[in-house]
Amino acid sequence: MKQLVGVLGHPIAHSKSPLLHNRAFQELDLPYFYTAFDVVPEQLGTAVSGLRALGIRGMNVTIPHKVAVIDHLDEVDPAACLIGAVNTIVNEADRLIGFNTDGDGYVRSLIEETGFNPMGKLVLVIGAGGAARAIVSALLFKGVSQITIINRTEERAIELIDGLKARASELSGSFAHSIQPDSLQHMQWNEIHRMMYQSDCVINTTSIGMWPEQDRMPIANPSFIQGQIVSDLVYNPLKTRWLQEASRQGAIAHGGLGMFVYQGAIAFEKWTGRPAPVRVMREAVESALRSELDIEV
């Protein structure tokens, strides 16, 4: 009999996660099946209880449940506690344990695809939503020296920083020490140009540039530095206009597909105990996105 895994979200119809995981199970000939569950917020607790009742091995959790799901779990791993959100549940003998693989997935992709070494680097993060929170935590843990967060709504950047600091102070060990007092700062939107000039790595974590508004960029007329890492969490289109402009100016462009693939790969490894076949997972999602874009454009 196959083991069931899947994703809880709302809406969820366009998720590429079933494709990503089922391709991987097929590649390794593993007896698992992954499907998407559309769960409204009022039903989240009941749905999570169902994992225990049905003996489901694990779940991904996506918008809008990543924070609320924490209240329904038995245990949350320290990295997910620091982020304050869970995107992966593992059912270990009826104990539901929450993890967050978004930040580690992002950093793994950034390092493998660009050769970036985060240690001691200055990073600019544009945006302060849920995805920013995950990658900021993971980059701090990898030893970046300072992250500047600039968001359209500055209060949200302040909340992100205050929240991370508060949660870090509640944790023990290396997580508590990953945030030094001056390792995080926020600035106003009009400081973007100056901070881009000073940063080793510039990351767009906003949804600007995502299909169908693929002509938009976080700022008009951006200036990038030769050799600077310029990253975008958006992967639809695969190479946003922001990244096209970065490449044109001699910067190293890093798209969001790798984050999606690796957050899934880390979840896959937690559920199955097997190394994920990352290359075929990536190819499956990339070819689906390319054919959708061909149809949509």
Contact positions toward ligand NAP, by CB under 6 A? 102, 127-132, 151-153, 156, 205-208, 210, 233-235, 256, 259-260, 263
Instruction: Give the nearest residue (CB) to ligand NAP.
Output: 129
| 100 closest CA partner among 114, 127, 82 | 82
**Residue (44 or 265) nearer to ligand NAP, CB:** 265
At its nearest, how many Å lie between ligand NAP and the CB of residue 267? 12
CA–CA separation, 236 vs 246, rounded Å?
A: 17
Are the C-beta atoms of 210 and 236 separated by less than 8 Å? yes
Q: For residue 13, how many other CB atoms are within 10 A of its CB?
A: 8
Q: How far is CA 117 from CA 75, 120, 145, 201, in A?
A: 32, 8, 12, 10
**Residue (52 or 152) nearer to ligand NAP, CB:** 152
CA–CA separation, 52 vs 4, rounded Å?
A: 12
At its nearest, how many Å lie between ligand NAP and the CB of residue 73? 20
At its nearest, how many Å lie between ligand NAP and the CB of residue 87? 9
At its nearest, how many Å lie between ligand NAP and the CB of residue 46? 24
**Residue (132 or 265) nearer to ligand NAP, CB:** 132
**Residue (212 or 273) nearer to ligand NAP, CB:** 212
Bridge partners, 75 (sequence order): 97
CA–CA separation, 80 vs 12, rounded Å?
A: 22
- Is residue 66 part of the annotated active site? The answer reads yes
Q: Which of 66, 121, 142, 270 is catalytic?
A: 66
Indicate which residues carry an active-site annotation: 66
